[in-house]
Chain A
Amino acid sequence: MQRMIEFPTAFWVSQYTIRFAFQEEISAENSRNVRLFRTFLQQALSADLLEVVASYATVTAYVKRKVALQPLREQWYAQQASIEVSVSHTPIQIPLCYDEEFALDMQRVMDYTGLAYEQIKQLHLAKVYRVYVIGFLPGFPYLGELAEALFVPRLAKPRQRVAASSVGIGGAQTGIYPLDSPGGWNIIGKTPLKLFQMQRAQPFLLDVGDCIQFYEITKAEFRQMEVNSY
């Protein structure tokens, strides 16, 4: 039996923006609710909705005109059970090469955590991560939660340029750079996949609420996959 998810606290941010807030915490449950609610809004508001941004605990709807909240609340209680099924939780597999060539900050992470290279890899590979937020750059996913043993502060002085597809860790999260850009995360590897490619039918590989799992590849495999990367 499914437990009813409460209608979130609604707040008009400006004339055309409504913020829906769930519990203020970072949790898989919150993230599931947020994604579910986002899907609900897309269906319920459809023509009135410009776009919707989901984060850790909030769903923000940019609307074209004022919408009535009471009917929306009633609809939410009536329809949430039927929406749940459309949300998939199968982890997306992301190949990752931890070779020294790409793992620019591995030494720093080893020094900070006191762990060996291999241990860091295994801890990083062991978890299924959830995309809690996308921001900072087009397509940059904030992935949580990292094993506590891997919590390392971000670089005191961000790099001027981090290569696209680099994988970093910072605080309780791990992330993947979609573009060459400045950045302060500790770089521990690189994926041959492109997270953001304008020409692709779906330019963005990941969406808020997606689950992902890294799997290790060798440098030779990396080169091969990079060539084939769509």
Chain B
Amino acid sequence: MRPLLLVRKQGVYGSLQDQGRYGYRAYGVPTAGAMDRRSFQASHLILGHTDNETSLELFIGGFEFEALAEATYVLTGAESICLVNGLPIEMWKTFQLKKGDRLTIQRVVKGAILYLTPYGGFQAEQQLGSRSCFPLGHMGESLQKGHILYGQSVASSTKTRGLYAPYRPQFESHRVVRAFKGPHFHLFSIESQQQFIETTFQFVSGNRMGYYLKGGVLQLQQPRDILSEATQFGTIQVPKSGEPIVLMADAQTVGGYPIIATVHEDDLDQIAQMRRLDTVKFTLMEV
């Protein structure tokens, strides 16, 4: 374990994440973990990690770090303007920081989330089998100015490695996302069922707990209460307002709003990378 980075600017929202915390949903502990698993896994693939190492997940931009030691890193995820000592660097390819270097994640250009990973991963305390930050459950803390981030490994790698462009995920401003009918789909009015698949929804706001969409008012055939039941990362629930919410990695494990659909596991990264004004259309498929 060694100090790697000092947080100079804390940006929009940053947190350490691994693959997630499994086995405690029955006790109300969400899985947490990287929201865009594809980009997260790519960073570990590039660095040659085989274990469940930890990355720093960064939203939107506004981050600045000072390197406290020499180390190798990679940035993956949303296309962003990233600078070392003021000069642009390439994502999806390893780069070195020397002591005193400044790494700036200015802002995303496409998509919303990026991952900063050092060789060996970041160090964080294992809590219930995972290093993923989940502040509401008092497991870790979100990134704050003045924090020092530690690396797991003292070794470093100088080999340059990367992921060829054709293999990098793309995050356009409009996406079509596969979803499965939810357990309460049939309770929605025929018009709302139709609307759900025909409407282009727009991202309004969101965080690691939920993404709020607008585009249509979805309604039940008859207003009624639903008994709370298990939800998951990708559950699309519809509160009384009629505007859908997609539950994300830190969402509570049970919910009492009608569930119209559930996002296909393999399309969660596309949802996770939505940002303001981005749009999505859902296409229903059979399990």
Residues of A within 8 A of B (CB): 11-17, 19, 21, 24-26, 50-58, 60, 62, 133-140, 142, 179-181, 196, 198, 203-204, 207-208
How near does chain B come to A173, taking the closest CB pair, in angstroms?
A: 11
Q: Which of A14, A51, A62 contacts B180, CB < 8 Å? A: A14
CB of B165 closer than 8 Å to a CB of A: no
Within 8 A of A (CB), among B120-177: 127-128, 136-139
> Is there an interface contact between B28 and A136, defined as CB atoms closer than 8 Å?
yes
> Is there an interface contact between A62 and B253, defined as CB atoms closer than 8 Å?
no
Q: How far is the CA of A135 from the CA of B229 in the complex (A)?
A: 10
With A26-B227, A60-B229 given, is the CB distance from A54 to B26 under 8 Å?
Answer: yes
CB of B183 closer than 8 Å to a CB of A: yes
Can you name the residue of chain B whose Cβ is closest to the Cβ of A208? Answer: B26
Within 8 A of A (CB), among B78-136: 127-128, 136
* Chain A neighbourhood of B287, CB < 8 A: 12-15
With A14-B287, A137-B136, A137-B137 given, is the CB distance from A53 to B230 under 8 Å?
Answer: yes
With A55-B229, A60-B230 given, is the CB distance from A13 to B27 under 8 Å?
Answer: no
With A13-B180, A19-B229 given, is the CB distance from A134 to B28 under 8 Å?
Answer: yes
CB of B258 closer than 8 Å to a CB of A: no
Can you name the residue of chain A whose Cβ is closest to the Cβ of B138? Answer: A179
> Is there an interface contact between B128 and A198, defined as CB atoms closer than 8 Å?
yes
Q: Which of B228, B255, B265 contacts A56, CB < 8 Å? A: B228
With A19-B229, A26-B227, A53-B25 given, is the CB distance from A135 to B127 under 8 Å?
Answer: no
Residues of B within 8 A of A (CB): 22-29, 127-128, 136-139, 180, 182-183, 227-230, 232, 234, 252-255, 262-265, 287
> Is there an interface contact between A13 and B262, defined as CB atoms closer than 8 Å?
yes
Q: How far is the CA of A26 from the CA of B228 in the complex (A)?
A: 10
> Is there an interface contact between B137 and A14, defined as CB atoms closer than 8 Å?
no
* Chain B neighbourhood of A180, CB < 8 A: 138
Q: Which of A53, A54, A203 contacts B128, CB < 8 Å? A: A203
Q: How far is the CA of A204 from the CA of B25 in the complex (A)?
A: 12
* Chain A neighbourhood of B227, CB < 8 A: 24-26, 55-58
> Is there an interface contact between A138 and B230, defined as CB atoms closer than 8 Å?
no
With A14-B232, A134-B27, A139-B28 given, is the CB distance from A53 to B253 under 8 Å?
Answer: yes
Q: Which of B23, B232, B253 contacts A135, CB < 8 Å? A: B253
Q: How far is the CA of A17 from the CA of B233 in the complex (A)?
A: 11
* Chain A neighbourhood of B128, CB < 8 A: 198, 203
Q: List 29 A-B contacts (CB under 8 A).
A: A12-B180, A13-B180, A13-B262, A14-B262, A14-B265, A17-B262, A19-B229, A51-B23, A51-B24, A51-B26, A52-B26, A55-B228, A56-B227, A56-B228, A133-B228, A134-B27, A134-B254, A135-B28, A135-B228, A135-B254, A136-B252, A137-B137, A138-B27, A138-B28, A138-B137, A139-B27, A179-B138, A181-B136, A198-B138
